[in-house]
Amino acid sequence: ENNLVIQTALIDMYGKMGDVKRAEEIFTRILNRRNVVSFGAMMKCYNVNELPERTIKLYEEMIRKEIEPDNVTYVLVISACGMCLSRHKGTLIYEKIRNNKKIMDDIRVNTTLIHMYGKFGDIDKAKQIFDSMFEHDVMTYNAMINSLGLVGQGYDALKLFRKMKEDNVKPVFETFGVVLNACGHSGLVNDARKIFYSLDEKYRNSFVTTTMVSLW
């Protein structure tokens, strides 16, 4: 048991280092002892290193071997479906979990679903998931604002950004980046400038500044 924990930690470490081959070697070594945590570590490795198709294959292997996915598994595989624009598989997974309260009460799962449907361009489904949530954190708002921006609904993105502040959800660096991007996709350059110039200096990091410069 302790050895499996160590091997799983090594998979995670090599994944963060970008050494996918070494992570796979360890994962192969624990073939008959894999559990949901070790599968999750390998799936995370693939996602971090932009190999989402392999994440989806691992999820399918888990199902075949009757290893019960946990919420982290679903976050990883849903994210992978969004990364490689696998709408069919992403929708199948959503249909499987949509009535599972334990999974759908997890804000991380919902946020990842919003990101996924946003990348698919299915803004109605993204809105449906957002509106069904009991609470929203900054990452959920970021996901929804970004999704609106991707389909050119800049005005709605700005409206949601204002609502976020009204709900006392504090923006982070990424929030301003996705709002400015949303403005850019919709040609709302003046609105973007107003937001940028209203920012405290601490929020004007390279990501936000680069996003703003690209609009000029």
Q: Which two tokens stand for residue 169?
A: 């959800």
Domains and CATH numbers, the chain: 136-216 (1.25.40)
Q: What is the pLDDT of residue 9?
A: 97
The amino acid at 107: I
Q: Which two tokens stand for residue 26?
A: 């360890």
Q: What is the pLDDT of residue 186?
A: 82
Sort residue 169 into left (φ over 0), alpha (ψ -120 to 50) or beta. Answer: beta
Residue segments in the chain with a per-residue pLDDT below the cut of 70: 1-2, 200-216
Residue 210, CB-side half-sphere exposure with 13 Å CA sphere: 5
Sort residue 50 into left (φ over 0), alpha (ψ -120 to 50) or beta. Answer: left
Q: What is the pLDDT of residue 213?
A: 46
Sign (positive or negative) of CA dihedral 189, 195, 201, 205:
negative
Q: What is the pLDDT of residue 209?
A: 55
Q: What is residue 216's three-state secondary structure?
A: coil
Task: Report the distance separating Cα 192 and Cα 198, nearest Å.
Answer: 10
